[in-house]
Amino acid sequence: MSAVDDLPPLRDVIRVHELAAKKSLGQNFLLDLNLTSKIARSSGPLEGVTVIEVGPGPGGLTRALLAGGAARVIAVERDERCLPALAEIQARYPGRLVVIAGDALEADWPALAAEHRASPASPVRVVANLPYNIGTVLLTNWIEAEPWPPFFESLTLMFQREVAERIVATTDNRVDYGRLGVLCGWRTEAEILFDVPPSAFTPPPKVTSSVVRLVPRPALLSCRTQDLAAVTAAAFGQRRKMLRQSLKALVRDPAPLLDAAGLDPTARAETVPVEGFVTLARLWREMRDRD
Ligand code: SAM
């Protein structure tokens, strides 16, 4: 029996169900239920909440979420080998765990949330120890979602520390500040909650991980996500160049655009705050609509 519930310890679950970790699926399992409970709690009080979890694997975080009081967990897992272990958790928590066997990259999250949430009033949160190989793609999709504010009230996610630093970066952390920092800073309050050492995982990854929480808020200024993505791709694609040069990937002569946005043409992308990129994205769209 384990500390949080009367299910077998995760080490036994992995042995019995022969869940040898697969690198191709980004499998680094958390077997310490005290740690998974800490992650579950770090998303906030769980009573009445519906949690979407990507990649439950053998179920360490899933169990902590359910034991911590989540009204329902909707878990999307691609590795069919994990399904029998997840069925045992379903039996322990009747009606509270929905397992979707499939690829998280193909999931229609708002539809899953609408179909399976505990009740129409139940807030939805995303909590996951993400497979590293698809973590930033999933995050980008969630933050680029329309309409905004989105269907979830927060994202509490494990990333490699280096990715976590890029998510929360601003012009104060120029080395890490880039497309991801602009996107997340535009629509969310993002913070690193705590680090998790490699030794906490089975097998241990090469680098330290961090749990990040992102809370949506109304965008600072509105623009189209695809325009912001194009502007930041151009500016940070050549981050050592001045904007008057790097934005040539976008427009033949960036000078009028930079002038209208009130930005110094000799500035580099890493010194431009989020509002500057959003203004560029809006003006670029207006220019094209006029032409
Ligand atoms: N939540 C478990 C834990 O904390 O121990 C496992 C986390 S492990 C880092 C990532 C999990 O995501 C694995 O169970 C893996 O099979 C699953 N996974 C990988 N790619 C996936 C995908 N495209 N869709 C859904 N699940 C995926």
| Averaged confidence pLDDT in the chain | 96
Q: What is the pTM of this model?
A: 0.96
Is the Cβ atom of 30 under 6 angstroms away from ligand 1? yes
Burial class of 146 by CB neighbour count within 10 A (0 to 12, 13 to 18, 19+):
exposed
Q: Is the domain of 242 the same as that of 211?
A: no
The pLDDT tens digits of the residues spanning 8-50 come to 999 999 999 999 999 999 999 999 999 999 999 999 999 999 9
**For residue 247, what is the domain's CATH number?**
1.10.8.100
The reply to whether 241 falls in a domain is yes
The pLDDT tens digits for 245-278 are 999 999 999 999 999 999 999 999 999 999 999 9
Task: Give residue 67's pLDDT.
Answer: 98
Task: Examine the domain organization and report whether 71 and 173 are in the same domain.
Answer: yes
- Last residue of a domain, which of 193, 216, 239? 216
**Structural domain boundaries, residue 284:** 225-290
Rounded Cα gap, residues 175 and 68, in angstroms: 38
Residue owning the nearest CA to atom 8 of ligand 1: 27
If asked whether residues 233 and 206 sit together in one domain, one would say no
Average the pLDDT over each of 38-42, 108-112, 209-213, 216-220 and give the range with the smallest value: 216-220
Terminal Cα-to-Cα distance of the chain (whole angstroms): 68
CA of 104 to the centre of ligand 1 (A): 9
Confidence class of residue 219 from pLDDT cuts 50, 70 and 90?
A: confident
* Cβ-contact 211, 42 below 8 angstroms: yes
Query: Is-contact 72 116, C-beta < 8 A?
Result: yes
Cα–Cα distance between 132 and 104 in angstroms, integer? Answer: 13
The CA 57 to ligand 1 mean position distance, Å, reads: 5
Residue 2 has pLDDT above 90, yes or no: no
| Cβ of 268 below 6 Å from ligand 1 | no
Query: Which of 79, 97, 106 for mutating ligand 1's site (highest number of atoms within 8 Å of CB)?
Result: 79
Residue 65: predicted pLDDT = 98
Do 172 and 246 lie in a common domain?
no
pLDDT > 60? residue 1: no
Q: CA dist 260 to 54, 246, 264, 281, Å?
A: 43, 17, 10, 12
